Amino acid sequence: MKPRGRFISLEGPDGSGKSTVIRGLQKALQERGVDVITTREPGGSPIAEQIREVILNVNNTAMDGRTEALLYAASRRQHLVETIIPTLDKGQWVLSDRFVDSSLAYQGVARQIPQEEVWTINQFAIEGQLPDLTLLLDVPAEVGLERIQKARGQRQYDRLDRESLNFHQKVRQAFLDLAAENDRIVLIDANMTYDAVIERCLEVIAERLN
Ligand SMILES: Nc1ncnc2c1ncn2[C@@H]1O[C@H](COP(=O)(O)OP(=O)(O)O)[C@@H](O)[C@H]1O
Ligand SMILES: [Mg+2]
């Protein structure tokens, strides 16, 4: 029987490079003979993707912060049960674009929900099944926002309003605090070239998971 696969999550604010890096990591790991899938949150399974649509629907302006936190946790539960665990059981690795740390980092900043309370509902959802390793892609707030705006073809920097910069800074700090408290989370300087970020991630994976 194949040994159980490894579960790696990628975390970090918008624009830190998660979605880009996850594709490069999958390719690099496959070249090294690792059977690995990529997935994302919210979503990552048929039911979880339906929950994602409810969460991200811009018409849902009446969405309560705690409802939203519960929906993220519900989506995560379904993703775990329907996609992540069966994949790991088959011996494949799982790379997930966001997991529980995003809820911990964002719900406090965006919705002012105490982190312990977010953790409580997420413990219910994941039953202790944390990633084997979490790569936290870290970039200064200005860099993340600049990348997002560039990708959208917008004028940069001068267009950044103070609110989004402040929000981004708080999310970044929340992630840095989580990394400081959890040995599972490894900080990656993502303010480097794409190739350098991939190389560093592969080094950390080799150190931590081999
Ligand atoms: N290391 C990097 N250097 C410069 N630009 C990058 C780097 N990594 C990603 N990008 C660009 O930044 C933008 C946001 O990247 P993305 O992977 O979508 O971030 P995230 O998924 O974390 O929001 C994309 O346009 C991407 O091409
Ligand atoms: Mg992304």
Domains of the chain: 7-209 (3.40.50.300)
Residues with C-beta less than 6 Å from any ligand 1 atom: 12, 14-20, 147, 151, 193-194, 197
C-alpha distances (whole Å) from 68 to each of 13, 42, 73, 74, 200 are: 18, 11, 9, 10, 34
Token couple for 190? 């993502």
pLDDT at 2 exceeding the cut of 90: no
pLDDT at 80 exceeding the cut of 90: yes
For residues 57-80, give the mean pLDDT: 97
Q: What is the pLDDT of residue 160?
A: 61
User: From ligand 2's centre to the CA of 2, what distance in Å?
Assistant: 31
Minimum mean pLDDT among 15-29, 34-48, 140-154: which range? 140-154
Q: What is the pLDDT of residue 210?
A: 78
Mean pLDDT of the chain: 95
Q: Which residues of 68-107 are buried (b: 16+ CB within 10 A; e: fewer)?
A: bbbbbbbbbbbbbbebbbebbeeebbbbbbbbbbbbbbbb
Q: What is the pLDDT of residue 152?
A: 85
151 CA: nearest ligand 1 atom: 25
87-104 residue pLDDT tens: 999 999 999 999 999 999
Read off the pLDDT band of 156 (50, 70, 90).
Answer: low
Read off the pLDDT band of 158 (50, 70, 90).
Answer: low
User: From ligand 1's centre to the CA of 23, what distance in Å?
Assistant: 11
Tell me which residues have their CB within 5 A of the ion that is ligand 2: 18-19
CA distance 68 to 87: 27
What percent of the chain lies above the pLDDT cut of 70?
97
pLDDT at 161 exceeding the cut of 80: no
Name residues whose C-beta falls within 8 Å of residue 176's C-beta, 6 or more positions apart in sequence. Answer: 136, 138, 187
Q: What is the pLDDT of residue 159?
A: 54
pLDDT at 149 exceeding the cut of 90: no
Q: Are 2 and 84 in contact (CB under 8 A)?
A: no
User: From ligand 2's centre to the CA of 107, what distance in Å?
Assistant: 18
